[in-house]
Amino acid sequence: MAHFVIFLLSIQFSFLYAGRVIYDLPDEGIVGEDNNASIDSKVDYENFSGRVSDKDDSSRILKIQAENLNSKFLKAGDIVYFKLNRGKKSDQCKGSVRDSERKYFVIYVHSFYPCFDEKKYLKRGTILHFHSPVLSRRVLEASKSREILILKRSDFLKQLNGINHFLWTYDIQKLKVAAEFDEKIAEMKKEKLRALDNMIERKKEKQDIQNKLQVIKMKSLHQMNMLLH
């Protein structure tokens, strides 16, 4: 009878889980690959080119269109050195940054000697080659700050994504937990029935042994009585 009850319970729980789909989802959500790329060590950020886009009448104040976006890191008061396209490395002029913006910066030229003859007319569109150690340092500092911000942003997104993932999959996770406990309960019930069945079998065995011992005892008493008489 006990075996039959176990069999019925097994069928009941099999039908219970057959209609329930439990997904084994990861504990954390999925976050895209981190973009922690730093500055390119092969790039020379100290040297860059620019084109004269505008100037005042004295040609001492020049507005330069930079070849890249790094000019935004220049600040008022920074010193930059420049030369003409075909000038020698030693033929550098000195300028002070007045203002900077995206792709443009303004400089005040202290003197055009020795890179350019001041008597000549400096045309708009003239290409100048700039040298600025301070710009390279600023780009490096900005890159390090960017790395820190990216790491903080990545950590924040992972935490937020994990929270969102838990909330989005709450119902599924709840079913999963309930199913795990239901399985444990079903298994415990099976073990309980097996244990009770074993107890019944042991009781029968003990009763059989008891009956046999009683018979042996009675036979022994009978034999003793026969010997005494």
Please give the full DSSP string across 162-202, using - where no structure is assigned. HHHHHHHTHHHHHHHHHHHHHHHHHHHHHHHHHHHHHHHHH
Check whether 175 has a pLDDT greater than 80. Answer: yes
Residue 222 lies in a domain: no
Residue 76 belongs to a domain with what CATH number? 2.40.30.20
Looking at 131, 152, 186, which one is the last position of a domain?
131
pLDDT of residue 105 exceeding 80? yes
Q: Where residue 107 falls among pLDDT bands split at 50, 70, 90?
A: very high
Tokens at 139, concatenated: 């780009």
State the residue range of the domain holding 95.
Answer: 47-131
Q: Which whole-number Å values give the CA distances from 153 to 32, 84, 167, in the listed order?
A: 12, 43, 21
Residue 57 lies in a domain: yes
The per-residue pLDDT for 40 is 61
Are 11 and 72 in the same domain?
A: no
When mean pLDDT is compared across 4-18, 48-62, 175-189, the lowest value belongs to: 4-18
Is there a single domain that holds both residue 192 and residue 121? no
pLDDT score of 227 more than 80: no
Q: What is the number of domains present in the chain?
A: 2
Residue for token digits 């890191």?
73
pLDDT tens track for 126-169? 889 899 888 888 888 877 777 888 888 888 888 888 888 888 88
DSSP string covering the chain: -HHHHHHHHHHHHHHHHHT-------SS---PPP------TTS-SSEEEEEEEEE-TTS-EEEEEESSGGGGG--TT-EEEEEETT--TT--EEEEEEEEETTEEEEEEEE-TTTS-TTS---TT-EEEEE-HHHHHHHHHHHHHHHHHHHHHHHHHHHHHHHHHHHHTHHHHHHHHHHHHHHHHHHHHHHHHHHHHHHHHHHHHHHHHHHHHHHHHHHHHHHHHHHH-
* 66 and 124 assigned to the same domain: yes
Answer whether the bond into residue 114 is a cis peptide, omega within 30°.
yes
